[in-house]
Amino acid sequence: MGLLIVLLLTSAALPWASSDPSDEACLTHLSQTLKDPLKNLQNWTKSTFANPCSGFTSYLPGATCNNGRIYKLSLTNLSLQGSISPFLSNCTNLQSLDLSSNSISGTIPQDLQYLVNLAVLNLSSNRLEGEIPPQLTLCAYLNVIDLHDNLLTGQIPQELGLLARLSAFDVSYNKLSGPIPASLGNRSGALPRFNATSFEGNKDLYGYPLAPMKTKGLSALAIVGIGLGSGLASLVLSFTGVCIWLKITEEKMAAEEGKVSQYMPDY
């Protein structure tokens, strides 16, 4: 009887293995919006979503666990298609999201703002469209924002410059336009600064640290060249004119001398 009581007390003290309902909803919806043509995510099933973690052990490829919660998702270069589910924001313990080098389309969900612990956001080398959500500023711990090589449009939100921890920022090779916010292009104090490679490849994007945009029409070099060419042509014409005038004058003088010599007596 005493042994039975001990066993019951011991079992009651041990926590039951169960998933966080938020993580389960996050993973379920993400698997529904992503397409996996190469079947790289075969273990991403409903039964696994119910218990994806056991302490620091993950049962999902591409997922890393910390104390029973999903804290890192790295699904890179898997030929994934589809879109990013806004329900990804339910993974509230997520600190790193890397979906780079796939063929994911659609927009960047504004709901990512609820990932308040997010430090790394890498959605580069996909087919994402639309604007960069300014709400990402609410992810105050962001150290890395990498969105290069997509189809993003619109302006770079000025609010992103308020991210004091931001040390890596890349929006190159998109379709962004307008001025580069000074809070990102010309940061002051001890804040990390980003060079031109972070912004290049956007035809209608301008401002420091990018080189000045080429002005339409003739370049300054062309104008100088035309000016020099015109000056040289004028000089040649003027010189030619002087030569002709001298030649004509010389002939006239010779003719006059001939006339005068006819009337001069011989001595």
Mean pLDDT by 10 residues, the chain (267 residues): 39 46 94 96 91 91 94 97 97 97 98 97 98 97 98 97 96 98 88 94 96 61 42 48 53 49 39
User: Whose CA is closest to 134, among 159, 109, 103, 153?
Assistant: 159
- What pLDDT is attached to residue 79? 97
Sole residue written with tokens 């972070």: 198
- Would you say 56 and 65 are in contact if contact means Cβ atoms under 8 Å apart? yes
- What pLDDT is attached to residue 20? 80
Statement to judge: residues 191 and 228 lie in one domain: no
Q: Identify residue 211 by its one-letter amino acid code.
A: A
Give the chain's radius of gyration (CA, Å). 37
H or E segment and range at residue 33: helix 21-33
- Would you say 147 and 170 are in contact if contact means Cβ atoms under 8 Å apart? yes
Tell whether 1 is covered by a domain. no
Statement to judge: residues 135 and 194 lie in one domain: yes
Statement to judge: residues 197 and 242 lie in one domain: no
Statement to judge: residues 195 and 225 lie in one domain: no
- What pLDDT is attached to residue 244? 55
Total domain count, the chain: 2
- What pLDDT is attached to residue 261? 40
Statement to judge: residues 198 and 228 lie in one domain: no
Statement to judge: residues 149 and 40 lie in one domain: yes
Residue 149 lies in domain: 19-204
Statement to judge: residues 166 and 95 lie in one domain: yes
Predicted structure pTM score: 0.75
Statement to judge: residues 147 and 29 lie in one domain: yes
Statement to judge: residues 184 and 238 lie in one domain: no
Tell whether 236 is covered by a domain. yes
Tell whether 4 is covered by a domain. no
Question: Coil, helix or strand for 123?
Answer: coil
- Would you say 81 and 104 are in contact if contact means Cβ atoms under 8 Å apart? yes
Tell whether 259 is covered by a domain. no
Statement to judge: residues 34 and 137 lie in one domain: yes
Statement to judge: residues 171 and 242 lie in one domain: no
Statement to judge: residues 129 and 64 lie in one domain: yes
